[in-house]
Chain A
Amino acid sequence: MPNVLVVEDSPTMRQLIGFAIKRIPGAKIIEATDGVDALKKLASEKIDIILADINMPVMDGLKLVSLVRENPSYKHIPVIMITTEGAEEDRKKALAIGANAYLTKPIQTQELMKLVSSFVSY
């Protein structure tokens, strides 16, 4: 029964990611619109995996990942970046900061499901 935190400022993408995640048995989706909102959700809910966009207002996805990795309570949580930034240097940068995987938009829901399933047990 994984709790999936979807951090994305676009309602369209939140809905689309939600569609994919709902197909994972027992998965619960918790939505956040930016990095700050995500940190609030992390403090109030038990999160098993984070799916985060990079370009977001208030706090971007890379800052969120670095804060998650610095916090002993959250540093074990896998983070998948979902972004429009397709350049290799962006991928390397995100993985170096502590992201576990990097997906570029437009996403394939099946690929996302497989990736999430590989990080969480249910």
Chain B
Amino acid sequence: MEKEFNISKKADEFLQIFKKGEEFTKNLLKENERLRFKVAQLEEELSKAGDEGRKKLYEERIRALEQEIGSLLERYKQVEEENKDFASRYLEVEAENNNLANLYVASYQLHSTLDFNEVLRIVLEIVINLIGAEKFAIYLMDEKANELLPVATEGIPLNDIPKTKIGEGIIGKVAKEAESYFIEDLGARGSSPSDPLHPVVCIPLKIKEHVIGVISIYALFIQKTAFTNIDYELFNLLAGHAATAIFSSRLYTQSERKLTTIQSFLDLLKEKPRK
């Protein structure tokens, strides 16, 4: 009886342990289920978080590239502007170079000789070839008679150019006041016949403020429709350099002539006692 009671007690104990085991297993399974769900949820979140991250990365990269393109376009515009600036500067330098070459050649030629007629020929060449004048005259001052005498012409016979009193008319006024004269509307004058008393340009030839003559231009070549900056530079150059070249060559020619005369006279004196 007691043995049966012990067996029944142990069976109850075993049953209880078994029930506890069953309950524990059930709990374990539940926990397992819960964790699996959590893992799945996390995996999904992680996956979602990855796409967003990549998207963000791509967006940032696009923004950076767009900024880079923007700055490159900006730089391109700057370089283009600089290029335009360089191109226009290059043209300016070329024009300046051209002008300097003209001025250098004119100055070099004017001072290349001490022969008076040669200097006059060079002045004519400069006015024809570098300025583009078709008809003009060079006058020199006769201070005793207080008038300007034409000494060389181009396109008009020398005899057709009258003497001009200082202070009279445009040419005389230019000689008196030592100020250049330019016709205001060159285009309007272009086709009209040239008049020796009404030049389109008149430039005083002066050494400092002392006028020794004038260059008077009556007509320009048909292709020369307007004066440029270099023309005014050449007029200034002619006013000074042509004046000194003409003046010094005239003095030199006169002194050469005097020297020859004196030498001839001396030779004559030396020869006389022998006779």
Contacts and interface: CB of A to CB of B under 8 A. Distances in A.
Interface of A: 10-13, 15-16, 19-20, 84, 86-87, 104-106, 108-110
B98 A86 contact: no
A15 B105 contact: yes
Nearest to A86: B223
Nearest to A105: B129
B224 to A, nearest CB: 7
Interface in B130-182: 130-132, 134
Contacts of B130: 12, 16, 106
Given A12-B130, A13-B125, A16-B129, A106 B105 contact: no
B244 interface: no
Contacts of A109: 97-98, 101
B109 interface: yes
Contacts of B128: 10, 84, 105
B176 to A, nearest CB: 30
Given A84-B129, A106-B130, A109-B98, A12 B105 contact: yes
Contact of A104 (B95, B101, B112, B221): B221
B128 to A, nearest CB: 6
A109 B104 CA distance: 14
A12 B122 contact: yes
B101 A16 contact: yes
